[in-house]
Structure 1
Amino acid sequence: MAINFAKSIQEKTFEHPCYNCIAHKYARMHIPVAPKCNVSCNFCNRKYDCINESRPGVTSGVLAPEEARDKFKVVKNRIKNLTVVGIAGPGDPLANFEETKKSIELIKKECPDITFCLSTNGLMLPAYAGELIKLGVTHVTITINAVDPKIDGQIYRYINYKGSTFVGEEAGKILLNNQLEGLKYLVDRGIVCKINIVMIKGINDKHIPEIVKKVGEYGAYMANIMPLIPVKGSVFENRDTVDEAELTSMRKECEQYLKQMYHCRQCRADAIGSLDEDVSAQFRGYNKNVISIDKHEKIHEEDKKAGKVEKGYRFAVASSSGDYVDEHFGHVSEFYIYDVLGENIKFHEKRDVERYCNGPQECTGHDDKISGVIKCIEDCDGVLVLRIGFEPVTKLHEKGIKVFQMYSTIEEGIEKAVKLIDKAAK
Structure 2
Amino acid sequence: MQLPVLNSESSGAAKSGCSSHSCGSTDDQLGHLPEHIRQKVHNHPCYSEQAHHYFARMHVAVAPACNIQCNYCNRKYDCANESRPGVVSEVLSPDQAVKKVMAVAATIPQMTVLGIAGPGDPLANPERTFDTFRQLSEKAPDIKLCVSTNGLTLPDCVEELAKHNIDHVTITINCVDPDVGAKIYPWIFWNNRRIRGREAAEILIAQQQKGLEMLAERGILVKVNSVMIPGVNDEHLAEVSRIVKAKGAFLHNVMPLIAEAEHGTYYGVMGQRGPTHEELQKLQDQCAGDMNMMRHCRQCRADAVGLLGEDRGQEFTLDKIEAMDIDYEAAMVKRAEVHAQIARELEIKQAAKDAKQQLVAIEGLKAKGPATRPVLMAVATKGGGVINEHFGHAGEFLVYEASSEGVRFIGHRKTTPYCEGGDTCGDGESALDQSLRVLQGCEVVLCSKIGYEPWGPLEAAGITPNGEHAMEAIEDAVAAVYEEMRSAGKLAESAAVQKAA
In 1, Cα distance between the equivalents of 2:258 and 2:161? 30
> Where does 1:4-19 land on structure 2 (aligned, <5 Å)?
8-19=36-47
> Where does 1:83-232 land on structure 2 (aligned, <5 Å)?
83-231=112-260, 232=263
CA deviation after TM superposition for structure 1 residue 288, in Å: 3.5
In 1, Cα distance between the equivalents of 2:39 and 2:310? 23
Name stretches of at least 5 consecutive residues in structure 2 with no aligned partner: 1-5, 9-35, 324-501
> More strand by proportion, 1 or 2?
1
- Indicate conservation of the 8 Å contact 1:144/1:197, yes or no: yes
- SS of residue in 2 equivalent to 1:98: helix
Residue 262 (structure 1) aligns with = 295
* Root-mean-square deviation over aligned CA pairs: 1.6
In 1, Cα distance between the equivalents of 2:128 and 2:167? 18
Is 1:234 aligned to 2:265, yes or no?
A: yes
In 2, Cα distance between the equivalents of 1:6 and 1:121? 33
CA deviation after TM superposition for structure 1 residue 50, in Å: 2.0
In 2, Cα distance between the equivalents of 1:25 and 1:253? 28
Deviations 1:353-387 (A, max 9, x none): xxxxxxxxxxxxxxxxxxxxxxxxxxxxxxxxxxx
Which amino acid is 2:48 matched to?
Answer: N
CA deviation after TM superposition for structure 1 residue 95, in Å: 0.3
Residue 244 (structure 1) aligns with = 277
Residue 446 (structure 2) aligns with = none
Which amino acid is 1:248 matched to?
Answer: Q
Residue 109 (structure 2) aligns with = 80
In 2, Cα distance between the equivalents of 1:259 and 1:10? 13
In 2, Cα distance between the equivalents of 1:52 and 1:83? 24
Residue 308 (structure 2) aligns with = 275
CA deviation after TM superposition for structure 1 residue 48, in Å: 4.9
- Indicate conservation of the 8 Å contact 1:216/1:257, yes or no: no
Aligned length: 285
Which amino acid is 1:17 matched to?
Answer: P
CA deviation after TM superposition for structure 1 residue 163, in Å: 0.8
> Where does 1:258-407 land on structure 2 (aligned, <5 Å)?
258-284=291-317, 285-288=319-322
In 1, Cα distance between the equivalents of 2:104 and 2:148? 21
Deviations 1:323-342 (A, max 9, x none): xxxxxxxxxxxxxxxxxxxx
- SS of residue in 2 equivalent to 1:102: helix
Which amino acid is 2:147 matched to?
Answer: L
In 1, Cα distance between the equivalents of 2:225 and 2:290? 15
In 1, Cα distance between the equivalents of 2:198 and 2:69? 14
Residue 27 (structure 1) aligns with = 56
- SS of residue in 2 equivalent to 1:270: coil
Cα distance, 1:6–1:188 mapped onto 2, change above 3 Å? farther
Cα distance, 1:48–1:97 mapped onto 2, change above 3 Å? farther
In 2, Cα distance between the equivalents of 1:49 and 1:56? 11
Name stretches of at least 5 consecutive residues in structure 1 with no aligned partner: 290-426
CA deviation after TM superposition for structure 1 residue 12, in Å: 2.6
CA deviation after TM superposition for structure 1 residue 181, in Å: 0.3
2:286 to 235, 253, 256: 253
CA deviation after TM superposition for structure 1 residue 10, in Å: 2.9
CA deviation after TM superposition for structure 1 residue 190, in Å: 0.4
Residue identity over aligned pairs, in percent, reads 46
- SS of residue in 1 equivalent to 2:267: coil
Regions of 4+ moved over 6 Å: none
CA deviation after TM superposition for structure 1 residue 286, in Å: 2.4
Which amino acid is 1:288 matched to?
Answer: E
Deviations 1:291-314 (A, max 9, x none): xxxxxxxxxxxxxxxxxxxxxxxx
In 2, Cα distance between the equivalents of 1:244 and 1:194? 22
CA deviation after TM superposition for structure 1 residue 9, in Å: 4.9
1:70 to 99, 102, 106: 99
Deviations 1:195-243 (A, max 9, x none): 0000001110110100000101101001100010004311100111101
Residue 355 (structure 2) aligns with = none
CA deviation after TM superposition for structure 1 residue 108, in Å: 1.5
In 2, Cα distance between the equivalents of 1:21 and 1:235? 32
- Indicate conservation of the 8 Å contact 1:199/1:205, yes or no: yes
- Indicate conservation of the 8 Å contact 2:102/2:140, yes or no: no
CA deviation after TM superposition for structure 1 residue 175, in Å: 0.3
> More helix by proportion, 1 or 2?
2
Deviations 1:249-297 (A, max 9, x none): 10001112621111010000000111132211211232439xxxxxxxx
